[in-house]
Structure 1
């Protein structure tokens, strides 16, 4: 016989289980199992272990919002998976790690977990709570065809809360975890701003994956002490300055670790738009340069499809064909179904089951280089002296872009020379003539491979949403009847295995927690820009 013993402080005078709001204010006690008259301490979440070691309570939302978000939501999600009997207080159960929820058969788009997470932060009393809930509802349940959204008139507090919840919780998103950008429209902390939400694809990442390799090779070939001056290429690094929080597709930082010029610079920023609104991308770039006036090289890549992407319509020939598969197709199985020529060419559309999943129309590069004078880059200046445009596809004409990239490297070299002075001789570095070592034809090959990866991911998102996802009735598809009624916690855990707990109707029927359901979250409005 196994019993779980917890703290009496979790009960009020009427010996009733206290509310979840009250429970959240306590550091959860350590759960103990008594087996064969020997007490054995069960593992608890890491945040509880830290709280116990420091002999203090888990930080409240007011003192540490990020830790509260991380610990409360992960703990809640795990508890919902494991709690199976109403006689055991939820905070005294043995709590698995959040990975148990990730491995759960029915975790994807789990309405109860998501609803309670959002309801918890609505209860925090932030003035922006209602706005945050609305934003999360739209972002979590976004249409699978969406690649970018924007929300206007959002304050910084709401953005910080939404970004913390997205980054620090185990919420499942219809098409993956998004990338967020916040652009304030004023300099006051009370100013409103715009949130841009992006879901980058493999095609979206190609231009700067290739540039990453080229910049790394170029810096490695320059004669300077690379242990003292660090040149780092960042992919999707969040850059924060004042009220602005922006995540460019690629940035480069120079950092001096020794000498009189210890500093950090951002000399390069790159952004890509794949069938998104170019105006939003341009505004994002302007904000990035305004926050980092030392930028000397900016690259914008514009990728357009022949037709905006859309998934197979319900009951269309493609929908009827692909729904017959018992499980989703692997990448290898999917690409073997691509119709038409077997020659891998970017000019060929990707068609499967009669549906065109992707056909890239053109790929264009725009490059700005700061002149020798100290003025920052003016992105609205399209003068040939400062800006170059090149076509990678369908016709390759990248000479002007290549020349501008070489000029940008020369400008970056000047930063390195200034940072190296006073530490070691810069004579060899001053003589160096770096050339941007990118292979544009290889970029075309990378786009071909990425297009296939992207359409397969689009297929997976569509298949999950259409046949295995949240569009099915809540209590018909996402749950399975179980044989654990009347059984112990251990019996139910053994039946499903510790690594893959299965959610059942009985689990939620017996769950000792008041779960607030938000129907608008499951059937809420969606926004596609």
Structure 2
């Protein structure tokens, strides 16, 4: 157990040495990353670190996995050839879009599972992806595995997805490029960009009465009831104590599907669809493109199964019908809930970092 009397830097260093057990690595190189993860920062929800070598990245990852002094479930993206580490703190808004899509993709994929005598085919929706020169935890990764009698064949990646919120969109695009470059078989890539009206800023000096009220470690319901936040619509800001804690501006979708060549997200052509969920709902092109991507995944699964076991009957896969029926209004309701959770999380971060 670490002593509470130690200065912050020494606590971090002791955590580093006790958990990682890698004394030769220079602590100074990962100190900033550990501080970002362990010290409350009301305004900084993502960060990019340069000159981070693989040993430092793997150590930080190990600390996150093994040590409960790191709050939440931060997401790490490491570009080994560039020595760049991207860190995203857990955020409810960031999670919502792909949790909704997961609920659609999972039953669709389950209907394609094959457990014939010659082979078995399984698909998984997960958030782990192995790359050649990077390590990423995507917001969506759909993979397939084919198992024959004595062999597990190399898994294939059918789709990837990323959500950009409170971080630079260019970083998310770069992450998608890495994922596609390492898995050129990807049939569909999805990016959701969620923007606020302005970058979040924690409260400055409040009136003494409000400051005393907010310093009392309010529960989520108490915090949100201060100005009737629970009754507000998604297009209204969450304002408590005269401060805006969260105010969504837009939610936009980008969907790419594969042509004859691997997906190129730098090209704007008929293989790319854009749509807006909020503030005005215009998702028809997205519906069409995601449905097309699902057909491509289905056909690719059939092709791989036939290649692995020549002569196998894949008609059940190819003839499998489906209807893509997203409930975008339900997703908007989930986003409203996530906005309130994010506002409260920001309040707690401000509270915990206040002197």
2:176 match: 285
Cα shift at 1:308: 1.1
Equivalent residue for 2:77, pick from 167, 181, 191: 181
1:451-480 CA-partner distances (Å, limit 9, x unpaired): 1111111111111221xxxx4xxxxxxxxx
Asked if 1:233 corresponds to 2:122, the answer is no
Change (3 A) 1:138 1:427: closer
Asked if 1:377 corresponds to 2:268, the answer is no
1:202 match: 92
1:415 match: 300
CA contact (8 A) 1:368 1:379 kept: yes
2:227 aligned counterpart, secondary structure: coil
1:219 match: 109
2: distance between equivalents of 1:337 and 1:324?
10
CA contact (8 A) 2:215 2:351 kept: no
1:332 match: 221
1:457 match: 345
Asked if 1:298 corresponds to 2:194, the answer is no
Q: TM-score, normalised by structure 1?
A: 0.61
Q: TM-score, normalised by structure 2?
A: 0.88
Cα shift at 1:339: 4.1
CA contact (8 A) 1:367 1:387 kept: yes
Superposition pairs for residues 69-218 of structure 1, below 5 Å?
Answer: 77=1, 80=2, 113-118=11-16, 124-126=23-25, 128-141=26-39, 143-173=41-71, 176-185=72-81, 192-218=82-108
2:102 aligned counterpart, secondary structure: helix
1: distance between equivalents of 2:113 and 2:316?
6
1:264 match: 155
RMSD: 2.8
CA contact (8 A) 1:410 1:433 kept: no
Change (3 A) 1:376 1:343: same
Greater gyration radius: 1
Cα shift at 1:335: 2.0
2:141 match: 251
Gaps of 5+ in 1: 1-76, 82-105, 186-191, 472-529
2: distance between equivalents of 1:381 and 1:138?
35
1:280 aligned counterpart, secondary structure: helix
Cα shift at 1:122: 9.4
1:138-181 CA-partner distances (Å, limit 9, x unpaired): 443352211110011222222122222232223245xx442111
CA contact (8 A) 1:391 1:397 kept: yes
Gaps of 5+ in 2: none
CA contact (8 A) 2:92 2:342 kept: yes
Between 1 and 2, higher relative CO (CA 8 Å, sep ≥ 6) is seen in: 1
Cα shift at 1:364: 0.3
Cα shift at 1:442: 1.1
